[in-house]
Structure 1
Amino acid sequence: MIGEEEKVMTAPAAGSVPPLVAGQTYQEMKVGSVFRTPARTITETDLVLFRQLVGVSEPLFMDAEHARSVGYTGRLIPGMMVFSYAEGLVLQTNVLHGTGMAFMQTDLSISAPVYVGDTLTVVVEVTESRPASRGNRGVVTTRNTVHNQRDEVVLTYNPVRLIRGGE
């Protein structure tokens, strides 16, 4: 009970229920805004499944002794897998849920190795947000830096996305 009255739950009127989760419009993605994704630890199983799914059969990712012989200290994760997991972490924030329209381009730089057992998180900073040439949409560029558990930057990429506009 709240005070003397009971709180009564009633069903909302038809059509008045907002979506469960709505992403940000390009107008809401302000230049300079920053957020960090949740973290994700990369496991041996993740590596094996990704290798099989994509067909990566390079000895660096299959043979720990070979990787050690060329200077690595553990089970190495392919850069394309780090990028894929980083994008998954960004999408799990729901910032783009229902508003993201297209991944248009990116550049990518790998700055440190990632190993099985490393935990990754992504820091996303909006660097540009502008209206598109037509329609109610915009072009948003972010700087995404992928950090390991020691907060070392292991990968950086700058995706350009087409994002819906507000009403």
Structure 2
Amino acid sequence: MTSAPIRLGRGFYWQELTVGDRYSTYGRTITSADISTFVGLAGMIEVLFTNVEYRKTESTLKGEPSPGALVLSVAEALALNATAQETGLAFLGLSTLDIKGPVQAGDTIDVEMEVLSVRQESNGDRGLVRTRNTVRNQEGKTVMVYEPLRLMMGRPQ
């Protein structure tokens, strides 16, 4: 009888995380298509995101900037794929969200996560995990820092 193969890529159960643990993700490049799709979908028709001539002549921010909400969304996708695939149950909120600098089309971001707190949830088989997620660009500059709280699965009994 053959045993089932081990599935690679599964996230951590809350009991496997310890305060002070640090993890980093692969990078992902933010493209012009990402920005225009996100801006259109979200209805963010601000001229900063939709008017090249405005950015050239009137804006202090040149290039093709990405909305902070897009950067957060991509950072969350990177973090979840790295640590909570199949084990993350709910995103419960942010205690902080600080945008430290712009992300432009063509920039590549990655995320470093540090576990700040881990505790058993009142249900007993689930846990609450807070991390500090530092988003950096390809030059290593911090562009965003946020602290999400997640509900995570516990180890199967």
Question: Normalization by structure 1: what TM-score?
Answer: 0.86
Q: Which residue of 1 aligns with 2:52?
A: 64
1:137 corresponds to which of 101, 123, 126:
126
Q: Which residue of 2 aligns with 1:74?
A: 63
Cα pair 2:113 2:131 within 8 Å, conserved:
yes
Question: Normalization by structure 2: what TM-score?
Answer: 0.91
Q: Which residue of 2 aligns with 1:12?
A: 2
Which AA in structure 1 matches 2:66? I
Partner Cα separation in structure 2 for residue 75 and residue 131 of structure 1:
43
Q: After the TM superposition, which segments of 4 or more aligned residues of structure 1 sit over 3 Å from their partners?
A: 16-21
1:31 aligns with 2:34: no
Give the 3 Å change call, closer, same or farther, for CA 21–120 of structure 1 in structure 2.
closer
Q: Which residue of 2 aligns with 1:6?
A: none
Aligned residues: 154
> CA offsets, 1:102-160, max 9 Å, x none?
10011311111111111100111101011112230110000001101111111111000
Instruction: List alignment gaps of at least 5 residues for structure 1.
Output: 1-10
Which AA in structure 1 matches 2:133? N
> CA offsets, 1:67-99, max 9 Å, x none?
342211211110000000101111222x21111
Which AA in structure 2 matches 1:33? D
Q: Percent identity?
A: 40
Q: Which has the larger radius of gyration?
A: 1
Q: Which residue of 2 aligns with 1:123?
A: 112
- RMSD of aligned residue pairs (Cα, Å): 1.5
1:17 deviation in Å?
Answer: 4.1
Structure number with higher strand proportion: 2
1:12 deviation in Å?
Answer: 1.5
Q: Which residue of 1 aligns with 2:73?
A: 84
